[in-house]
A and B are shown apart, each in its own frame.
Chain A
Amino acid sequence: MSEAILTPIEKKPIGFTAGVLAAAGGFAGLFLGTAQGSGLLGILVGAALMAALAFVAMQVLGEALEKPVRWGMIAVAAVAGFLFNGIPGLIMGGLFGWFFGWFIYWIGMGRYRAHLVPYLTGGQVLWHYSFRVLCGAIFVFLITPIIVVMPLSFNAEDFFTFTPEMLAFDPAGYSLKHYRDFLTNPEWTNAVKNSLMVAPVATLISVSLGTLAAIGLSQSHVPGKRAIMAILISPMIVPLIISATGMYFFYSKIGLVGTYWGIVLAHAVLGIPFVIITVTATLVGFDRSLTRAAANMGANPVTTFFKVQMPLILPGVISGGLFAFITSFDEVVVVLFIGSAELQTLPWQMFTGLREQISPTILAAATILVGISICLLTSVEILRRRSERLRGMSPG
Chain B
Amino acid sequence: MTDAATEPDKITGPTPDNALRAADKADDGPVLAADGRPLKQSLNRALRAQKLRALALIAPLLIFVLVSFIAPIGDMLFRSVENQIVRDTMPRTVAALADYDAAAGGVPRDEVFEAAYYDVFYAAERKLHTRLGSRLNYEQTGASSLFRKSGRGIDDIGEVYQDQFEDLNGDWDEARPWAELMGDPTWIAAQEGWDGSGRMPAFELRSDIADVLPRTAASYQIFARFMQTEEGDSPLEEEPWTVVHTALYQDLSEGDVSGYTGPRSDMLQAAAALVASPDFETIAFRDGLEEIDEDWVDPEIWQTIKTYSPSYTSGYFLNSVDMQKTPEGPALRDEDERIYGLLFQRTMFMSMVITISCILLGYPIAYLLSNLPSRTANLLMILVLLPFWTSLLVRTSAWKVMLQQQGVINDTLVWLGLVADDARLTMINNQFGTIVAMTHILLPFMILPMYSVMSTIPQTYVRAAKSLGATNWTTFWRVYFPQSIPGIGAGSILVFILSIGYYITPEIVGGTSGIFISNRIAYHISSSLNWGLAAALGTILLVVVLLLYWAYDRIVGIDNVKLGG
Contact = CB atoms under 8 A, between A and B. Distances in A.
Nearest to B521: A241
A384 B564 contact: yes
A303 B4 CA distance: 54
Contact of A243 (B69, B386, B393, B526): B69
A207 to B, nearest CB: 11
A159 B545 CA distance: 40
A266 B47 CA distance: 36
B151 interface: no
A-B pairs, top 8 by smallest CB distance, nearest first, are A239-B501, A216-B57, A246-B72, A145-B398, A250-B72, A34-B417, A213-B61, A246-B76
A317 interface: no
Contact of B394 (A127, A149, A219, A250): A149
Interface string A219-239: 111110000111111110111
Interface string B467-499: 000001000000000000000000000000110
A366 interface: yes
B138 interface: no
Contact of A351 (B56, B408, B504, B564): B504
A9 interface: no
B390 A251 contact: no
A26 interface: no
B387 A160 contact: no
B507 interface: yes
18 contacts: A131-B364, A138-B365, A217-B58, A221-B47, A223-B55, A233-B558, A237-B549, A245-B521, A246-B76, A268-B68, A269-B69, A330-B392, A332-B392, A337-B525, A347-B391, A350-B397, A351-B508, A384-B565
Interface string A164-205: 000000000000000000000000000000000000000001
A333 B504 contact: yes
Interface in B48-72: 50-51, 53-58, 60-62, 64-66, 68-72
Interface stretch (A12-20, A93-101, A374-382): A374-382
Contacts of A139: 365, 380, 383
Interface in A322-366: 323, 326, 329-330, 332-333, 336-337, 347, 350-351, 354-355, 357, 362-363, 366
A215 B54 CA distance: 8
Interface string B73-110: 11110010000000000000000000000000000000
Contacts of B559: 229, 280
Overall SS of chain A's interface: helix
A240 B383 CA distance: 26
A52 interface: no
Interface residues of A, number: 99
A124 B68 contact: no
B416 interface: yes
A347 B365 contact: no
Interface stretch (B7-15, B450-458, B530-538): B530-538
B395 A242 contact: no
A211 B564 CA distance: 19
B538 A245 contact: yes
B556 interface: no
Interface of B: 47, 50-51, 53-58, 60-62, 64-66, 68-76, 79, 361, 364-365, 368, 380, 382-387, 389-402, 404, 406-408, 411, 415-418, 440, 443-444, 472, 497-498, 500-504, 507-508, 518, 521-522, 525-526, 531, 534-535, 538, 541-542, 545-546, 549, 553, 558-559, 561-565
Given A146-B386, A245-B534, A332-B393, A363 B401 contact: yes
Interface in A257-304: 265-266, 268-269, 272, 274, 277-278, 280-281
Contacts of A145: 387, 395, 398-399, 401-402, 440
Contacts of B418: 34
B55 A332 contact: no
A272 B406 CA distance: 41
Nearest to A237: B549
B558 A229 contact: yes
A132 to B, nearest CB: 8
A237 B563 contact: no
Chain B CB within 10 Å, residue with most, of A143, A223, A248, A249: A249
A161 interface: yes
Nearest to A331: B392
A242 B541 contact: yes
B365 A219 contact: no
Contact of B408 (A148, A251, A281): A148
Contact of B73 (A238, A347, A363): A238
B393 A134 contact: no
Contacts of B390: 146, 369-370, 373
A396 interface: no
B394 A369 contact: yes
Contact of A249 (B53, B507, B535, B565): B535
Given A142-B440, A148-B408, A232-B62, A239 B69 contact: no
B54 A216 contact: yes
B65 A362 contact: no
Contact of B70 (A234, A248, A265): A234
A127 B472 contact: yes
A143 B387 CA distance: 7
Contacts of A114: none
Given A330-B393, A350-B393, A231 B57 contact: no
A381 B564 CA distance: 8
Contact of B538 (A31, A220, A241, A366): A241
A245 B394 contact: no
B75 A278 contact: no
A269 B66 CA distance: 10
A12 B140 CA distance: 81
Contacts of B75: 246, 249-250, 253
B406 A149 contact: no
Interface string A128-152: 0001101100110111111011001
A223 to B, nearest CB: 6
A216 B59 CA distance: 9
Contact of B525 (A223, A248, A323): A248
A249 B402 contact: no
B525 A228 contact: no
A246 B472 CA distance: 52
Given A35-B416, A239-B518, A162 B68 contact: no
B393 A209 contact: no
A108 interface: no
A277 B400 contact: no
Contact of B61 (A232, A350, A377): A232
A366 B393 contact: yes
